[in-house]
Amino acid sequence: MPVTEDELLYLSSADVLAACSDVDPLRCVSEALLQHASGAAEAGIEGVVRWSPASGQSARTLNMPGLLENGAVVGTKIINANTGNPARGLPRADGLTILFDPRTARPRAILQGAHISALRTAAVSTVAARELSAGDPVTLGVVGAGKIAQAHIKLMAEHLKVGRVLLSDRLPERAHALAAELRDDGLVPQVVVTDLESSVRGANVLVTATTATRPYVSDDWITPGTLAVNVSLDDIEERTYLRADLLYVDDWQLVIDDTKRLLGQLSRAGRITGPGQPAPAGGRCVTGTLGQLLTHACPSRQEDGQTIIVNPFGMAIEDLAVAERVCAAAIARGLGVSLRR
């Protein structure tokens, strides 16, 4: 459906899900990472507000603007979360992706953002795993059994030779429910629900997809040769960061600007420096960004025994790259609702 300058296109969760079947998320995020490396994309400064709506709960809203193709694609991602939502039967996180008209800067499309966010997160991890895993078959260890974990397992099973998934969650019933769904889908030959330590020790590709705010994955559990994609950012110990053979980020400035996450704290403490910077005494530097990895501007895996960490903070440009393609696919399909301004 064409959208005039007096209209906004709204895409519901169902619209987004349907349009995503026409979109290659790995291509979208790869292009965004390459543009980021070349300077054609910009991840803007994030705005965040945090509050406590009830005792023991934590809520936040994030506004993450960005642009691609030197301004041909512009928009923002709004993603909110409340740790108390699952107990209410609601998703922990939800939000919107808003695309702007690059000529007028006016909003032109509003997309329900939860699926886009989960899909692009899994796509970035899958792109990293294609570049950095130690070979086939992959034994995928996944910590956490929520929507992000589900997206990772499904997308990695489509694009990597995953022989087995080792799944753990602090709520075993949630892990068993996801495992049953994956077995019904037939995407993975074997899905095993196990304890945390076993899911880490047995993996050669590890994905942490939790709501953790402090490290809990012991360095002793991570075996040589493992690729650890630290999606939730605070799961892996400082020691593992420091001794890993290779360490990648998506955007170093976003990492160090965040006062909550471990890698930013290690930077401010003078323990880890950014890509291309001298390593501090007793510390290390980041090997490179994922964009630099894709352009071969920084080292990649050289040996199967190398331990590698990917610390993907998450950039709105990745969401925008997916959202732009989803929007085009939705219009081609006649999906969505036109809203008058």
Question: The CATH number of the domain where 102 resides is what?
Answer: 3.30.1780.10
Mean pLDDT score across all residues of the chain: 95
1 domain residue, yes or no: no
Residues 266, 286 within the same domain: yes
Question: Nearest 5°: phi and psi at 202?
Answer: -85, -5
The answer to whether the CB of 263 falls within 8 A of the CB of 275 is: no
Tell me how far apart the alpha carbons of residues 124 and 290 are, in angstroms, rounded to a whole number.
9
Residue 106 DSSP code: -
Could you identify the residue written with the tokens 């987004």?
A: 16
The answer to whether position 55 is within a domain reads yes
Residues 268 and 328 in one domain: no
Q: Tell me: do 199 and 154 sit in the same domain.
A: yes
User: CA-CA distance, 341 to 332, in Å (whole number)?
Assistant: 22
**Are 100 and 25 in a shared domain?**
yes
Distance, CA of 16 to CA of 154 (rounded, Å):
17
12 in a structural domain: yes
Mean pLDDT value of segment 311-337: 97
Locate 299 and state its tokens.
């080292």
Residue 217 is encoded by which pair of tokens?
């994955």
Shared domain check, 238 and 131: yes
Do 64 and 209 belong to one domain?
no
Structural domain boundaries, residue 152: 121-315
Look at the chain and report how many structural domains it folds into.
2
Backbone dihedral region for residue 130 (phi beyond 0: left; psi -120 to 50: alpha; all else: beta): alpha
pLDDT of residue 211: 87
Same domain, 309 and 329: no
- Token digits for 56? 């023991």
Tokens of 106: 């006016």
pLDDT above 80: residue 160: yes
Look at residue 216 and tell me whether its pLDDT is greater than 60: yes
Q: What is the pLDDT of residue 135?
A: 84
Counting residues of the chain whose pLDDT is more than 90, the rounded percentage is 87
Q: Which residues of 222-248 are buried (b: 16+ CB within 10 A; e: fewer)?
A: beebbbbbbbbbbbbbbebbeebbbbb
My answer on whether 171 and 309 are in the same domain is yes
Position 284 in a domain:
yes
- Phi-psi region at 305: left, alpha or beta (left = phi > 0; alpha = psi -120 to 50): alpha
Give the tokens for residue 258. Answer: 């965040």
**Does 324 map to a domain?**
yes
2 located within any domain:
no
Query: Which of 139, 154, 128 has its CA nearest to residue 203?
Result: 139
pLDDT in tens, 181-206: 999 998 899 999 999 999 999 999 99
C-alpha span between 257 and 315 (Å, rounded): 13
Q: Is residue 264 part of a domain?
A: yes
pLDDT beyond 90 at 11: yes
Helix (H) or strand (E) holding 26: helix 25-38
211 and 92 within one domain:
no
Nearest to 223 by CA among 286, 128, 304: 304
Residue 61 shares a structural domain with residue 181: no
pLDDT surpasses 60 at 2 = no
Instruction: Name which residue leads in pLDDT, 341 or 191.
Output: 191
Amino acid at 46: E
Residue 136 maps to which CATH number?
3.40.50.720
In a domain, 43, yes or no: yes
Structure confidence at residue 3 (pLDDT): 61
| pTM of the predicted model as reported, rounded to 2 decimal places | 0.95
Q: Residue 267: helix, strand or coil by DSSP? A: helix
**DSSP states of 150-208:** HHHHHHHHHHS-EEEEEEE-SSHHHHHHHHHHHHHHT-SS-EEE--HHHHHHT-SEEEE
302 in the same domain as 260: yes
* pLDDT over 60 (residue 321): yes
**Confidence at 267, pLDDT banded by 50, 70, 90:** very high
Q: Do 136 and 21 lie in a common domain?
A: no
Strands 59-68 and 73-82: antiparallel
The band of 5, judged by pLDDT with boundaries at 50, 70 and 90, is confident
Mean pLDDT of the region 40-56: 91
Q: Are 236 and 203 in contact (CB under 8 A)?
A: no
- Phi, then psi, of 10 in degrees rounded to 5: -110, 125
Question: Would you state the structure tokens that stand for residue 295, as one six-digit string?
Answer: 């352009």
